């Protein structure tokens, strides 16, 4: 008899043909890392490590049960309070990951009879939540607020509740959402607006609160999601908003209700990171200055970096094979720059994704620019 798992071989062969097989690896630690989302260089900061160490000694490693069953431990409560103050929100719901926070928020807010309008380049966790929710999902062209407005004008009356989903900073393109228009559209059509600040928190805005804050709109985003695992160097995700929104979410979001809480040490590390974000604005200022200079240098050399604005700089190469070959050449030169392929990005838009962090030196960035300008990579830039 055939093994009922034999079908996997055909699927794998097709993926291989398309250059889409992915494999886990432990990269050589000697490579200069342009693949990490540790934008502020906090993941290895001794202050986070000692905060985690102390919390683990005092409260143990595991959270031991889901928060509504066991209750929080003190580091969770301290983190939630600190996040609410930071976000100037009435309340915050803490999730095991940013993925869980997005999924949980979306499924708590809409269901059958409702509609979701999502930017085409929204993070996968928002789209998975949208599919699970049972609401009708409609995707609008990337950053096209005018189009969204036209669609809502036609369709808004047919739906009970409407939810607009967008990343604040798009994870694979590094551009900012048109939040001035999106907040106005949400208000005009009586739609809920969720902004995922996974790549904005700690990096953008005068106070490090993200893209909405950079655009002066933080108070007009009623549902904000963030992660603790990127610029904050830890693990976990959160939703910030009004007390009634958060009380509703913790009562309705399955990933909150049915999942064990973060290790108290992860919460303590994130709490320390939040303090550093507030006390050391020069970290994000330097990061934005350096990444802006790198993007400008690449553009002046003819690279297509789209509307990237910040530490995420994509270099579009088109086909998956070109992106893989370029990543391989950079790796041989000592640089870890990931090739991003479908389905993470739309077909025909495979790219290198450079992620600049506060841990990079000027020399690291100059070395990357020199290697990228090698004709074998520049020739493939479409
Ligand atoms: C990484 C990411 C998430 C998920 O966050 P995790 O904490 O890693 O689960 C959500 N949204 C966006 C835009 C992301 O890039």
Query: Cβ-count burial of 33 within 10 angstroms (0-12 exposed, 13-18 middle, 19+ buried)?
Result: middle
- Give tens-digit pLDDT for 344-382: 999 999 999 999 999 999 999 999 999 998 777 766 554
Give the pLDDT confidence score for residue 381 in this predicted structure. Answer: 57
Q: With a 6 A CB cut-off, is 99 part of the ligand 1 pocket?
A: yes
Instruction: Identify the active-site residue in 108, 125, 133, 171.
Output: 171
Residue with structure tokens 């990337």?
Answer: 142
The radius of gyration computed from the CA coordinates of the chain, to the nearest angstrom, equals: 21
Give the pLDDT confidence score for residue 380 in this predicted structure. Answer: 59
- C-alpha–C-alpha distance, residues 105 and 107, integer Å: 6
How far is ligand 1, taken at its centre, from the CA of residue 187, in Å? 26
Single pTM value for the model: 0.95
Q: With a 6 A CB cut-off, is 72 part of the ligand 1 pocket?
A: no
Name the residue at shortest CA distance from atom 8 of ligand 1. Answer: 98
Which atom of ligand 1 lies closest to the CA of 237? Answer: 7
How far is ligand 1, taken at its centre, from the CA of residue 201, in Å? 11
Query: Cβ-count burial of 367 within 10 angstroms (0-12 exposed, 13-18 middle, 19+ buried)?
Result: middle
State the DSSP H helix or E strand holding residue 24, giving kind and residue range, or none if neither: none
Strands in 192-196's sheet, in edge-to-edge order, are 91-95, 237-241, 223-227, 192-196, 162-167, 115-119, 136-140
- Whether 306 and 173 have beta carbons less than 8 Å apart is answered as yes
How far is ligand 1, taken at its centre, from the CA of residue 227, in Å? 6
Which atom of ligand 1 lies closest to the CA of 125? Answer: 10
Tell me the angle at which helices 320-332 and 362-372 cross, rounded to the nearest 10 degrees: 130
The residues that bridge with 225 in the sheet, in sequence order, are 196, 239
- Give tens-digit pLDDT for 202-248: 999 999 999 999 999 999 999 999 999 999 999 999 999 999 999 99
To test the ligand 1 pocket, which listed residue (128, 176, 196, 224) has its Cβ within 8 A of the most ligand atoms? 196
Clarify whether 149 is annotated catalytic.
no
Instruction: Identify the active-site residue in 230, 291, 322, 355.
Output: 230
Residues of the chain where predicted confidence (pLDDT) is lower than 70? 378-382
How far is ligand 1, taken at its centre, from the CA of residue 97, in Å? 8
- C-alpha–C-alpha distance, residues 271 and 73, integer Å: 14
State the DSSP H helix or E strand holding residue 116, giving kind and residue range, or none if neither: strand 115-119
> Is the bond into 343 cis (omega within 30 degrees of 0)?
yes
**What six digits make up the tokens of 152?**
């809502």
Clarify whether 171 is annotated catalytic.
yes
- Whether 197 and 226 have beta carbons less than 8 Å apart is answered as yes
């Amino acid at each position: 008899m055939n093994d009922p798992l034999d079908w996997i071989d055909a699927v794998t062969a097709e993926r291989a043909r398309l250059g889409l097989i992915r494999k886990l690896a432990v990269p050589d630690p000697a490579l200069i890392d342009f693949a990490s989302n540790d934008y502020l260089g906090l993941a290895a900061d001794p202050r986070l490590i000692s905060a985690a160490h102390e919390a683990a000694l005092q409260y143990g490693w595991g959270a031991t049960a889901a928060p509504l069953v066991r209750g929080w431990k003190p580091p969770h409560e301290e983190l939630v309070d600190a996040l609410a103050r930071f976000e100037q929100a009435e309340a915050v719901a803490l999730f095991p990951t940013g993925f869980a926070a997005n999924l949980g928020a979306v499924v708590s807010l809409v269901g059958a009879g409702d509609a979701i309008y999502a930017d085409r380049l929204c993070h996968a966790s928002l789209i998975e939540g949208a599919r699970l929710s049972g609401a009708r999902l409609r995707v609008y062209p990337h950053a096209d607020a005018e189009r969204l407005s036209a669609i809502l004008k036609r369709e808004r009356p047919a739906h009970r509740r409407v939810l607009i989903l967008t990343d604040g900073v798009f994870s694979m393109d590094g551009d900012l959402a048109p939040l001035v228009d999106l907040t106005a559209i949400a208000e005009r059509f009586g739609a809920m607006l969720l902004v995922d600040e996974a790549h904005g928190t700690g990096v953008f805005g005068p106070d490090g609160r993200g893209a909405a804050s950079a655009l002066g709109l933080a108070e007009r985003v009623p549902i904000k999601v963030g992660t603790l695992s990127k610029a904050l160097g830890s693990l976990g995700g959160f939703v910030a908003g009004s007390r009634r929104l958060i009380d509703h979410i913790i009562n309705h979001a399955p990933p909150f209700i049915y999942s064990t809480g973060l290790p108290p040490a992860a919460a303590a590390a994130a709490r320390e990171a939040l303090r550093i974000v507030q006390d050391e604005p020069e970290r994000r200022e330097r990061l934005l200055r350096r990444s802006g200079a790198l993007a400008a240098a690449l553009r002046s050399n003819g690279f297509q970096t789209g509307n990237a604005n910040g530490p995420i700089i994509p270099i579009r190469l088109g086909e998956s094979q070109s992106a893989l070959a370029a990543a391989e050449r950079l790796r041989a030169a000592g640089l870890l720059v990931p090739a991003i392929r479908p389905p993470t990005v739309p077909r025909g838009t495979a790219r290198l994704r450079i992620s600049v962090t506060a841990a990079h030196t000027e020399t690291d960035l100059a070395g990357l620019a020199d290697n990228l300008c090698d004709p074998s990579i520049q020739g493939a830039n479409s």
